[in-house]
């Protein structure tokens, strides 16, 4: 059952296992020194930036904060961010299920190569993820002449933003489902088929209920990255206010115009999204008894 542990993590009962064992604990002074140093690092590098976002956002008061959020260009950027995620997440959800079904429930040659290829987008710099679409769909790209003949714009327009968002979020759902479905084995599906269920019935009635929490976990992570992506989207966006700016790009524009309060106001919504993501993620981890693991790692 590699990758999926059955015990809950982060519980203090668990640490007591070490703390009560004289052979596995440090002197109290060393223990508190380690806790202090690691918590200072945690506060300086993780808590402080989070605090800075909200304090800078509210520096000019709630009135200015609210006005920055309902400003038409800001609202347009929220709409585009929601649109990009609404297209990218479901597509990568379907991809993740298909990939996990193929990899976890079947044996075939080249499986490991396929797993590595699925992971590729996490290894590629976001800037390159944007660049590749310019090479394919840009004016001087492979399909550039054909696209301009037919008056279709992909890069420096909304379709490019959506494509770049899909690229950087491809692996999320697949990566969560593959180890989960491998650990669950194939017996339940085989039993359903022996009892006369069709393939689709087996998937919807047996597999899907078994993977629903893992699926939600992958979707939550995928959505967080889709809504927050900056580098890839920045390359293919035309940076046209109110038209091709997602929320992170709107943050950049406002910041570069020295409109700091407004930049941090929009940023604070993204920070709230991050916190909500972490809460849902943590709840699912408790439910699944999932081991902590690096997310979005190259």
Which residues, 20 to 49, sit near other proteins by CB under 8 A? Answer: 21-27, 30-31, 34-35, 37-39, 41-42, 44-49
187 vs 200: CA distance, rounded Å: 16
59 vs 45: CA distance, rounded Å: 21
Closest approach, Cβ 247 to other proteins, in A, equals 8
Task: Tell which positions 97-136 bind other proteins, by CB under 8 A.
Answer: 98-99, 101-102, 105-106, 108, 114, 116-121, 123-128, 131-136
For residue 6, state whether it binds other proteins (rule: CB under 8 A): no
Task: Tell which positions 218-237 bind other proteins, by CB under 8 A.
Answer: 221, 224-225, 227-231, 234-235
For residue 206, state whether it binds other proteins (rule: CB under 8 A): no
Cβ-based nearer residue to other proteins, 122 or 153? 122
Closest approach, Cβ 257 to other proteins, in A, equals 12
Three-state secondary-structure class, residue 39:
helix
Cβ-based nearer residue to other proteins, 46 or 75? 46
Q: Pull the structure tokens for residue 65.
A: 């904060």
For residue 95, state whether it binds other proteins (rule: CB under 8 A): yes
28 vs 261: CA distance, rounded Å: 45
Could you please report the per-residue DSSP string of 32-64? HHHHHHHHHHHIIIIIHHHHHHHHHHTTTHHHH
47 vs 3: CA distance, rounded Å: 29
Q: Phi and psi at residue 62, in whole multiples of 5°?
A: -65, -35
Cβ-based nearer residue to other proteins, 71 or 96? 96
């Amino acid at each position: 059952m590699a990758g999926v542990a059955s015990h809950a993590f982060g519980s203090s009962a668990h640490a007591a296992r070490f703390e009560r064992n004289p052979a596995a604990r440090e002197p109290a002074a060393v223990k508190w020194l380690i806790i202090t140093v690691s918590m200072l690092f945690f506060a300086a590098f993780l808590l402080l930036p989070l605090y800075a976002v909200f304090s800078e956002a509210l520096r000019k008061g709630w009135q200015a904060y609210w006005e920055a959020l309902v400003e038409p260009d800001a609202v347009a950027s929220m709409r585009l961010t929601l649109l990009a995620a609404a297209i990218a997440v479901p597509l990568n959800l379907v991809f993740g299920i298909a990939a996990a079904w193929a990899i976890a429930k079947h044996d075939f040659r080249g499986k490991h190569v396929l797993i590595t290829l699925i992971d590729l987008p996490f290894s590629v710099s976001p800037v390159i993820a944007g660049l590749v679409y310019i090479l394919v769909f840009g004016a001087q790209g492979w399909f550039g002449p054909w696209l301009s003949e037919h008056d279709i714009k992909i890069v420096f327009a909304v379709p490019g933003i959506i494509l770049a968002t899909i690229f950087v979020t491809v692996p999320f759902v697949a990566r969560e489902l593959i180890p989960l479905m491998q650990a669950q084995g194939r017996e339940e599906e085989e039993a359903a088929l022996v009892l006369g269920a069709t393939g689709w019935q087996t998937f919807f009635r047996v597999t899907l209920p078994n993977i629903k929490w893992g699926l939600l976990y992958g979707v939550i992570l995928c959505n967080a990255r889709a809504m927050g992506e900056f580098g890839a989207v920045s390359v293919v966006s035309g940076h046209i206010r109110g038209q091709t700016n997602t929320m992170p790009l709107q943050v950049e524009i406002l910041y570069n115009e020295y409109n700091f309060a407004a930049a941090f106001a929009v940023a604070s919504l993204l920070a709230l999204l991050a916190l909500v993501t972490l809460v849902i993620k943590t709840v699912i981890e408790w439910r699944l008894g999932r081991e902590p693991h690096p997310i979005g790692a190259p």
